[in-house]
Amino acid sequence: MSELRGVIVSHAAVAQALVAAVKAITGIDDALTPISNEGCGTEALGERLREAVGPGPAVLFVDLPGGSCFTSSARYAKQGGAEIAVVTGVNLAMLLDFVFHRDVAPADAARRAVDAGAKAIRVTA
C-alpha cells in the first residue's frame, strides 16, 4: 500500500494553519494538503478535492460535520475510484497522529486519528 495522503478541508484558512502547525511540530511537510472552500461553490470545491487527492488513497479531514466542506468531501468519497475515508471535527492531535501512521488503509488511519483527536479533548479545572 502506498502512503496515504491527508487532505484538510475547511472554511477560510483553518486548513492552511493546521498544515503549518503540523510542519512546525514534526518537520513533515508532504503528508497534508490544505483546501479552503473560500470563494468557491460546490463544483469548484469538488475539483479542488480531485486535484489534492490525486489517485489516492487518502483521508479527508473536514472541519465541521455539515456544510459545504463536509458535503463535498462525502460526495467525493462516495464517487468511488480511490479508497477514501472522511473524518470530521479535525484537530491538531489527530493530524499529528496521522502523519506518523500513513502506512495503513484509509479506514484504519481515520480510526487512529479519531482516537488520538478524541483523547486530546479534555476539560481542566
**Structural domain range at position 104:** 5-119
Helix (H, G, I), strand (E, B) or coil at 85: strand
Read off the pLDDT band of 2 (50, 70, 90): low
CATH of the domain at 37: 3.40.50.510
- Residue 61 in any domain: the answer is yes
Q: Mean pLDDT across the stretch 85-113?
A: 96
In a domain, 57, yes or no: yes
Q: What is the pTM of this model?
A: 0.95
Residue 67 is assigned to a structural domain of this protein: yes
How far apart (Å, rounded) are the C-alpha atoms in residues 88 and 61?
6
* Number of domains comprising the chain: 1
**Is 40 part of a structural domain of the chain?**
yes
Identify whether 125 is part of a domain. no
Compute the 3-state secondary structure of the chain and give helix, strand, coil in percent, each to the nearest 5. Answer: 45, 15, 35
Distance CA 6, CA 101 (A): 11
